[in-house]
Amino acid sequence: MSKILVIGSANADLMIATPTLPKPGETVRGHDFLVAPGGKGANQAIAAARLGGDVSFIGSIGDDDFGRNIRTSLSESGVDTANLCVRSRFSTGVALILSETSGENMIAIAAGANDLLLPADIDAAACAIAKASMIVCQFESPVATIERVVEVAKLSGVPVLLNPAPARRMQDEMLDGIRFLVPNRQELAHLTGLPTRTLADVEAAAKTLLFRGAQTVIVTLGPEGALRASADGACVFPAPIVEAVDTTGAGDTFVGGFAAEWCRTSDVDAAISFAQRAAAYSVTGRGAQASMPWLSDLD
Ligand code: RIB
């Protein structure tokens, strides 16, 4: 089976549901406090594994209960955690998440041990990278580390899917090593400095990233679906209609689902439709990993 190697963050998610998101200086009463394993890297690894991928995860956690819960959650979903490093003097990363009744959310993270995932760790994993069928990474780890991931994968000819979240500007040199760039609307605006309000705006902005070196840009647009831009043109994929309860981790479910299906079929458009079904399923429940589907849930 083809191997998906996810490299990135793992956090403990501290979540509160609120009727509305607070404005600066405002306090709102929330409910349903939840502590759950999360982090974009771990979430994407779990989504890909539950959806049938053969997945390994490289990340960094503290020697604490949060870290142990993350390892358990990864293992229970079938992710290989042999390369999940434990940093004894650091805390596991934490994400404070407020999620509004409408499904919107707000997240602040303290990276903790995630910041200890360094370029040297990537060099040490060069063999695993070379043997993978796809590398999946995000921007919750130090930028130098992710740059190194892209360099090593490019040297080995292994395709890289980058989810540029949280948003960060990128050099063209790095974009040139990306097979699949998967931003959401806000991240696309940040990456390009262009408006992304309408679908026409999104298409124009995505195309500038193709000119700068990315091979395929897939923009996730929540209930509006997804837009794929590549050398053979652009295409919009409408989203399945569901009632969203909590969108935390929906983008991660999309990324994991896309990776699993693309590694199975090598069909980009089929992988987008599959990822959309998985992401739509995930927004119907609370929590990032708790609401991610298994393959049988999508039947
Ligand atoms: O994408 C959702 C994730 O972002 C959460 O699980 C949180 O940990 C933050 O990393």
Q: Give the relative orientation of helices 65-76 and 40-50 as an angle to the nearest 10 degrees.
A: 20
Give distance in angstroms: CA of 169 to centre of ligand 1. 20
Q: Is the pLDDT of residue 103 over 90?
A: no
What DSSP designation does 20 have?
A: S
Q: Is the pLDDT of residue 215 over 90?
A: yes
Query: Of all atoms in ligand 1, which is nearest to the CA of residue 140?
Result: 10
Residues 6+ apart with CB under 8 A from 14: 33, 34, 35, 94, 95, 96, 97
Query: Of all atoms in ligand 1, which is nearest to the CA of residue 13?
Result: 8
Omega of the bond leading into 238 within 30 degrees of 0 (cis): no
Indicate the CATH number for domain 3-9+39-91+113-298: 3.40.1190.20
* Three-state secondary structure call for residue 12: strand
Give distance in angstroms: CA of 107 to centre of ligand 1. 7
What DSSP designation does 184 have?
A: B
What DSSP designation does 292 have?
A: P
Q: What is the pLDDT of residue 1?
A: 55
The overall pTM is greater than 0.75: yes
Determine if ligand 1 sits within 6 Å of the CB of residue 187. no
In the chain, where are the structural domains located? 3-9+39-91+113-298
Q: What is the mean pLDDT of residues 221-241?
A: 96
Residues 6+ apart with CB under 8 A from 265: 271
Q: Is the pLDDT of residue 101 over 90?
A: no
